[in-house]
Chain A
Amino acid sequence: MTRLDDDEALILGQARRGLGPTSADEQRVLANLLPQIALSPSAAGGGGSLRRSPWAVRIAGSVAVMGAIALSGGLGYRRGWDAGIAQQNSKITRVNAAAVASSATADAKLELAPPPEAERALVSEAKAASRGSVIRTHSVTVSATPSASSAPLGLDEEVRQLRRVERAIREGNPRFALVLLEELDQAMPAGQLLEERRAAGIMANCQLGASGAVDGARAFAKTHAGSAYLTRVVEICGLESERNSVAPGTHAPR
């Protein structure tokens, strides 16, 4: 990504929002899409609202009947075999889940702490300001409860989006960082990297000089004294003079 000047960043950020779908667009397309994919041959994830087509059910039924006839003699043996496989699979799933969880934790040094009052004040103040001006603010109204979107697919996407936010901040494009963060909040309101989102939102607001950003940074420093992002938040928000209160041993991720 290249550094954009203010005019470019402003118009591209606004255009990005303007070009995107409204929530009505999203819902309309999804509503029309679901019946169509219910008739299509593949099922991604197979969960929830996807229905099987009658043909798929018929074919599956025929296969099951033929299988039952062919294997009737060895049914007991087959069940034992399936049970063994299932047991092994469940072990593998547990190991994979643990590996994903530990990788995510190592990657992100996740801490799920409730956002403090000052941050909430910052968010609402900046939100109000953004309606009248060009500044858009990252909303921190996210739930700490892991949801279905915290599945590995969602986490990967969340990490990738946060990398782009980080890059925007490093390149000095805070407006874009906030646009990306808000999109991330909308797409994945219950993600796993909430502390990182909050830190990125504060840094971007500080870069923009938004009112209340420094208070938000102070509150972040208080509630996330051990955060890997603290040094950068302190640095970007100009809190070096208050650095004595920062816990020793923290470092900035690069």
Chain B
Amino acid sequence: MVSQLDVLPERPQSGPKPSEFELLYAEHVGFVWRCLRTLGVPNRALDDAAQEVFIVVHRGIAGFRGDSQLRTWLYGIVRNIAYKQARRVRRKDRAEPIDEQIRSPEPTPSERAEEAQAADFVQRFALGLPEKKREVFMLALIEQFSIPEVAEMTGIPLNTAYTRLRAVRAEFRAALLRHRGDHDSTR
């Protein structure tokens, strides 16, 4: 039987080996990017915010202890920078409409259209939530962390996390129903 490995192109033997930092970046950039967007960093500030996160990670990783807490540590950095960036941008340009803030930064290929629409809806919903609920929504429902993990990452008691999740799910369901209703009525 022909192995799938046989049909894969061989890796180039030369070229620089990625550093541990680059591997860490590749593993976590998706999480960082989604969190920044959901926490309200506008698209035009995303690059700067993501860079800032990884610069802080780079400075601090050598002193970091305990791999099991990496996401918690990383999330703490993301949260600080997201709120700092969001405040900075709000101060700089208060007049910017929310549509401008969350619109996709580049033309969307057709295969990503549905994803972009869903992202737009979910991001609008998230940005309409108070910060505390938004974090639970993002970590539990978008990032799919367990509730004990969410409690640890956000530094809230477990029961509070469960309560917030129940509330935010009810709100999300209601918003989704409204969204579907609007969508159907425009057809």
Closest to A34 in B: B22
Q: Roughly how many angstroms separate A190 CA and B165 CA in the complex, as a whole number?
A: 35
**In the complex the two chains form, is B19's CB within 8 Å of A12's CB?**
no
Give the interface segment out of B84-92, B93-101, B113-121, B152-160.
B113-121
A211 an interface residue at 8 Å Cβ cutoff?
no
B122 an interface residue at 8 Å Cβ cutoff?
yes
Q: Chain B's interface: helix, strand, loop or mixed, by majority?
A: helix
A-contacting residues, B95-141, CB 8 Å: 104, 106, 111-112, 114-123, 140-141
The residue among A8, A152, A187 with the most chain B CB atoms within 10 A of its own CB is A187
Closest to B137 in A: A12
Chain A residues with a Cβ closer than 8 Å to the other chain, count: 71
A249 an interface residue at 8 Å Cβ cutoff?
no
**In the complex the two chains form, is A20's CB within 8 Å of B33's CB?**
yes
CB distance from B187 to the nearest CB of A (A): 17
CB distance from B53 to the nearest CB of A (A): 10
Q: Roughly how many angstroms separate A190 CA and B18 CA in the complex, as a whole number?
A: 13
**In the complex the two chains form, is B4's CB within 8 Å of A16's CB?**
no
A-contacting residues, B59-83, CB 8 Å: 59-62, 67-68, 70-71
> With A12-B142, A48-B22 in contact, is A18–B17 under 8 Å at CB?
no
A28 an interface residue at 8 Å Cβ cutoff?
yes
Q: Roughly how many angstroms separate A186 CA and B120 CA in the complex, as a whole number?
A: 23
Give the interface segment out of A83-91, A138-146, A237-245.
A138-146
Q: Roughly how many angstroms separate A221 CA and B123 CA in the complex, as a whole number?
A: 42
